[in-house]
Amino acid sequence: MSDIPRRGATRTVKLASLPLGIAGRAAAGFGKRLTGQSSAEINADLATKAAEQLFAVLGELKGGAMKLGQAMSVFEAAMPEEIAGPYREALTKLQKDAPPMAASAVHRVLDQQLGTSWRDRFESFDDVPAAAASIGQVHRAVWSDGRRVAVKIQYPGADEALRSDLRQLRRLAPIFKPFAPGTDVKALVDELAARSEEELDYRIEANYQRAFATEFADDPMISVPAVVASSPKVVVTEWMEGTPLAEIIADGTPEQRNAAGVRLCEFHFSSPARVGLMHTDPHPGNFMILPDGRLGAIDFGAVVALPDGIPQVLTEMVRLAVQNRPEDLVALMTISGYVARGDKLDPQDALDFLRPFVEPLRVETFHFSREWMQQIAGKYSNMRGKEFQTSRAFTLPPEYLMIHRVLSGSVAILCQLDANAPFQSVIAKWTPDMLVDPTA
């Protein structure tokens, strides 16, 4: 049997301990102020200890906790260096590692999902997992026709663990605020919970991947492995070999970083127009650079359907911000549900708030850096600053949440890459309405 259900109580206790531990440190910080220690010193100390506890706990968990940890870990680029530095390696590990499932448990799942004669479908099967995902693990194998394949097998009990973790993680939303300024983390968790049933059925994932693989089959920049077989808890795809994006982030040359950044932009912004779908799990563990230079994309469990491409409301909002049209911008945001009361929001304040987010679209090539993102994060998380006050007027319609997650997550990865990317040209190619009014 899987050890996931037995670990449920331990997992819940660990998750529940996070808010209490951080609250306790905040109280200790107040005591230190009384003894004369500076606020800056106290805040740095508290932030470091909070990050340490947060990532230590998330790193031990599977299911929803690991999934949210992966989703949030891309925002590492926005953290101050004194916090990000010590945990960069741990975050990278969180994106790809988890304790392995025993071979006997693997065989039982394969018996149930592919039939007791499943071994006849493979020339060989490696019992030692090659990688781990949030709710399953991946094994190398050779299919009966000689193709090298990846076999993703869902952890027994992962469905229960995922639902339980996501319920518990709603309580942790305030902790993530410093790492994702402006993100409604509770809404993110709710959206993950709403989509968890779909992600738990690997047949749905397989159908999404087939659509991507078909569209990008002959693409010179992007590659998606073909699906070989699928069942509710097992999916078999062609094996993809390449350099993990995390290694490019850590040790890549400027040329490799820039090329990876361009391809990542191309993948995310071309998919809605070409496939009618968007891959919504943007963290480095889902991408690699192939020997021929193409970007390899894997793990299509989290996908949002966009049959008409990126929604027109979003493209118009971006265009109005790029064109410096604050009154029209606030009017549109009010109608579309991004602000509750437009008459309470100064149009110029709204434009100033959004200005950094459209900055990459104002120039042909933009340098995405950790320093740039940290500067933005620091400005928007300053509770006394104008930007923070303006942000309180905004809301995020649930139907657009996953798109915002992709956009912010991919920008965060670009900053980790320290990439100089022609963002503007990619937008102009695949979403031209963001730059030019089609009715003009």
> Tens digit of pLDDT for each residue in 328-351?
999 999 999 888 766 678 999 999
Cβ atoms of 119 and 285 within 8 Å: the answer is: no
Q: Which parts of 95-181 fold into alpha helices (H)?
A: 103-114, 158-169, 173-176
Angular region, 62: left φ>0, alpha ψ -120 to 50, beta rest: beta
Give the separation between CA 136 and CA 160, rounded to whole angstroms: 13
Kindly state the average pLDDT of the residues 403-428: 90
CA 277 from centre of chain = 16
Kindly state the average pLDDT of the residues 21-28: 42
Q: Which helix (H) or strand (E) holds 150?
A: strand 148-154
Q: What does the buried/exposed string (b/e) look like for 85-113 if buried means 16 or more CB atoms within 10 Å of the residue's CB?
A: eebbebbbbbbbebebbeeebbbebbeeb
Determine the pLDDT at residue 157. Answer: 80
Determine the pLDDT at residue 436. Answer: 87
Instruction: Judge whether residue 201 has pLDDT over 80.
Output: yes
Task: Give whichever of 108-117, 188-197, 278-287 has the largest mean pLDDT.
Answer: 108-117
Cβ atoms of 101 and 129 within 8 Å: the answer is: yes
pLDDT band at 181 (very low <50, low <70, confident <90, very high): very low
Q: Are β-strands 227-230 and 131-132 bridged in parallel, bridged antiparallel, or unpaired?
A: unpaired
The DSSP symbol for 123 reads E
Length of the chain, in residues = 440
Determine the pLDDT at residue 386. Answer: 83
Kindly state the average pLDDT of the residues 107-132: 95
Kindly state the average pLDDT of the residues 142-151: 97
pLDDT band at 65 (very low <50, low <70, confident <90, very high): low
Say which range, 152-161, 234-243, 363-372, has the weakest mean pLDDT: 152-161
Give the separation between CA 193 and CA 202, rounded to whole angstroms: 16
pLDDT band at 111 (very low <50, low <70, confident <90, very high): very high
Predicted model pTM: 0.78
Domains and CATH numbers, the chain: 8-96+160-194 (no CATH), 103-157+199-238 (3.30.200.20), 242-440 (no CATH)
Question: CA nearest 256: which of 291, 299, 217, 298?
Answer: 291
Determine the pLDDT at residue 30. Answer: 38
The model's pLDDT over 221-275, given as tens digits with 9 standing for 90+, comes to 999 999 999 999 999 999 999 999 999 999 999 999 999 999 999 999 999 999 9
Determine the pLDDT at residue 438. Answer: 77
Kindly state the average pLDDT of the residues 52-58: 55
Bridge partners, residue 287, by sequence: 297
pLDDT band at 4 (very low <50, low <70, confident <90, very high): very low
The model's pLDDT over 68-108, given as tens digits with 9 standing for 90+, comes to 555 555 455 555 555 555 445 555 554 455 567 889 999 99
